[in-house]
Amino acid sequence: MPNCKLTARSLSEWFATEQGGYVLAREQAYFDRTVSDIFGYNALQLGLPEHDFLRSNRMPLRFSAGNQAGNSVRLCCTELPFDTASLDLVLIPHVLEFSEQPHQILREVERVLMPEGSLVISGFNPRSLWGLRRALGSKEYYPLNGHFISLTRMKDWLALLGFEVAGGCFAAYAPPFRKAKWLERYAFMEKAGDRWWAVSGGVYFLHAVKRVPGMRLIKPQWNEGLVRKLLPVAPKLNNKITQRSEADPQ
């Protein structure tokens, strides 16, 4: 296999390597499972147009957007050309750690999402064997040249923008070997990782929902005892008036 250090000039090219394919398989499985239960009309995937992470979603309009060729819409992720509150679902697969303005991207995503709309993020975990490999080795090739964002910081950013985390998980617990045979030998770490070191997966996923405070109708506090006394009065008065009218001589 060609050395991915020499060939991977983008994240898409890295996903085509044996090392990247190991991560991609787990990411595709998570996205397939998560987006299948999210409903609405418009779904957007930012970046990585070669991989359809929205394929199991059933919204009428599903498209990809980004500054790479192959996207349905070419754009700058920090300035999304969509109306405010116009999208029901946005996927961000590894866009934030390779951007100079990740928080601005999140602000734009919050703007274009409908109230109760969903945001699904995947990111490389700096507190993992993959993060340790990045800290100790070269940062000249994908994905180690990205700015890994910790899960704690990501949650803080989402909370500041009014998102509520609805779910998530970790994956890719095996060491970042480049050969598939070595990754397969450490496949046992996937199940063991979920049980023994759940926060140390090489990749994390977050599903967040945009919460918008709504108006609450304030009703007057009626005196129920007084209302019960007043309601029977009207029929009695009507009956007396009717009886008096019948008794009057013609």
Domain locations in the chain as residue ranges: 4-210
pLDDT at residue 250 in the model: 46
- Distance between CA atoms of residues 126 and 77, nearest Å: 23
SS3 content of the chain, % helix, strand, coil (to 5): 40, 20, 40
Residue 38 pLDDT > 50, yes or no?
Answer: yes
Class of domain 4-210: alpha beta
What are the structure tokens assigned to 98, written together? 């390779």
What is the C-alpha separation between 74 and 76, in angstroms, rounded?
A: 7
pLDDT on residue 218 = 60
Q: What is the mean pLDDT of the chain?
A: 85
Is the Cα torsion angle 194, 48, 62, 112 positive or negative in sign? positive
pLDDT of 118 strictly over 60: yes
Write down the pTM of the prediction: 0.80
Tokens of 60: 């009428």
**pLDDT at residue 80 tops 90:** yes
Which whole number is the average pLDDT over 226-242? 53
Residue of higher predicted confidence among 24 and 143: 24
